[in-house]
Structure 1
Amino acid sequence: MDASEILRRYSAGERDFHQIYLNRADLHQANLCEVNLAQAQFHEVNLSGANLGGAKLKEGFLMGTNLSGANLISADLSDSCLSGANLSETNLRGANLRDANLNEANLSGANLRGANLKGASLSGAKLIETSLQGANLEGAILAHAVLTRVILDKANLTHAILSGASLEEATLIGANLSQTNLTGASLRRANLRQASLRSANLSGVNLRSADLREATLYRANLRWVNLHQANLSDAVLIDANLSLANLQDANLTGANLSGAIIPQGMTRP
């Protein structure tokens, strides 16, 4: 089956194309709203600018597929392989990407508001200036991902793996990062106001000039963390481990450090 046949049959009212194989097909800006492409196999397919709103792409093999600028609102991409795919500027609002493989994918500028990314793998993915507001990233793997200036307000990142990730200037207001692994990540100038980092592992993290006002860091591991010029006013640091942390010029006004392990020579506020 080729692109022209799919478009002809779609225009005639057919919607079920599950398990099809497409090789180097050009479906640029095609209208395939609500199409069923579950378990489809795509090889070098161009779907840039295509309308795939509400499409079923569950368990699809879309490795390296060009979906830049496509409409995938509320699409089902669960368990799909999108490794190395181009999803830049793609609208994935409310999409289901649970357990999807997005390793090395380009999601820069994409809209993932309210998307379900629970258990998804995004190792090495690029999400520069991507909107993930309210997204579910519980248990997601984002090791060494580039999330510069990403919007993660109210996102669920519990148990996620963000080791070595770049979250510089990211916005995580009210985000849930409880028990998240952030070892070696960079959150320089990130906004974590009112975020929950309960029992999170932040060992070696760069939080220079970060906004952590009213954040909850109960029992968090902050060994070797760089908090130079960070704002921790009214933060909850009960039982947190701050040994060997850099707190030079940090604002700890009103912070609760009860039971916390603090650097040698530091005076509790």
Structure 2
Amino acid sequence: MRKLSEDKLLTDYHCGQRDFTEVNLREAELFEAKLSGINLSRSNLESAYLPYANLTDAKLERSKLRGVQLANAKLLQVNLREADLSRANLSRTNLRHANLRGADLSGANLYAADLGYADLSNANLQRANLQNANLENAKLHQTKLQGANLFRARGADFSEAETDAITVFPDGHHNVD
């Protein structure tokens, strides 16, 4: 995996390059970066700072994004299949139509995130904060929601998701077996 500076990434992107597969952008500072359609598959963006970034149609499949700051970002139709987003800040992020199949979002902050029509099948959202999130028509097949906070989340069918006694449901109740 080759190390890439923020400046080099932005310069190459603005010159038309879109494929940045397997690059190391750990702790990169890309506030408000406009990177629609970029391919960062299998890249390392751990602890990167990308609030308000536009990554619409980006490919981040199998990337490491642990602890990434993506609050208020635009991630429409992004491919995050099997990505590690554990402890990520995705509050108020637009993830409509995102592919999050098999992604690790454990402990992530998704407060007021828009996950409408997102595919969260087989994703790990254990201990994630999904308070006030939009889950309208989201796919939650075998999604792990143990210990997740779903208070005031809306639009989801949790019947195929995995929950436990400490999962907080949209109306504030917990599972009681």
Same fold by TM-score greater than 0.5: yes
Aligned to 1:187: 169
Aligned to 1:57: 40
Aligned to 1:18: none
Matched, 1:142 2:125: yes
Kept after mapping to 1: 8 A contact 2:122/2:141: yes
Q: Which residue identity is paired with 1:65?
A: A
User: Which of 138, 141, 164 lines up with 1:155 in the alignment?
Assistant: 138
CA distance change for structure 1 residues 9 and 58 in 2, over 3 Å: closer, same or farther?
A: closer
Give me the identity figure in percent.
Answer: 34
Kept after mapping to 2: 8 A contact 1:83/1:104: yes
> 2:25 aligns to what SS in structure 1?
strand
User: Which of 11, 14, 20 lines up with 1:37 in the alignment?
Assistant: 20
Kept after mapping to 2: 8 A contact 1:167/1:186: yes
CA distance change for structure 1 residues 36 and 138 in 2, over 3 Å: closer, same or farther?
A: same
CA distance in 1 between counterparts of 2:138 and 2:25 reads 31
CA distance change for structure 1 residues 7 and 50 in 2, over 3 Å: closer, same or farther?
A: closer
Within 5 Å, which residues of 2 pair with 1:106-145?
A: 106-145=89-128
CA offset digits 1:80-138 (Å, max 9, x no partner): 00000001001001000000000000000000000000000000000000000010000
CA distance change for structure 1 residues 78 and 8 in 2, over 3 Å: closer, same or farther?
A: closer
Name the TM-score, length of structure 1 as normaliser: 0.60
Q: Displacement, 1:8?
A: 4.7
Select the structure of larger CA radius of gyration: 1
CA distance in 1 between counterparts of 2:136 and 2:9 reads 39
Within 5 Å, which residues of 2 pair with 1:167-246?
A: 167-171=150-154, 173=155, 175-183=156-164, 184-189=166-171, 206=173, 223-224=176-177
CA distance in 1 between counterparts of 2:6 and 2:129 reads 34
Q: Which runs of 5+ in 2 are unaligned?
A: none
CA distance in 2 between counterparts of 1:40 and 1:2 reads 10
Q: Displacement, 1:176?
A: 4.0
CA distance in 1 between counterparts of 2:83 and 2:117 reads 18
User: Which of 80, 85, 88 lines up with 1:102 in the alignment?
Assistant: 85
Q: Kindly report the root-mean-square deviation, in angstroms, between the aligned alpha carbons of the 2 structures.
A: 1.8
> 1:43 aligns to what SS in structure 2?
coil
CA distance change for structure 1 residues 168 and 2 in 2, over 3 Å: closer, same or farther?
A: closer
CA distance change for structure 1 residues 46 and 135 in 2, over 3 Å: closer, same or farther?
A: same
Name the TM-score, length of structure 2 as normaliser: 0.90
Aligned to 2:64: 81
Q: Displacement, 1:5?
A: 4.6
Matched pairs, number:
173
CA distance in 2 between counterparts of 1:166 and 1:158 reads 18
Kept after mapping to 1: 8 A contact 2:98/2:118: yes
Q: Which runs of 5+ in 1 are unaligned?
A: 16-34, 191-205, 208-221, 225-269
Kept after mapping to 2: 8 A contact 1:38/1:56: yes
CA distance change for structure 1 residues 70 and 166 in 2, over 3 Å: closer, same or farther?
A: same
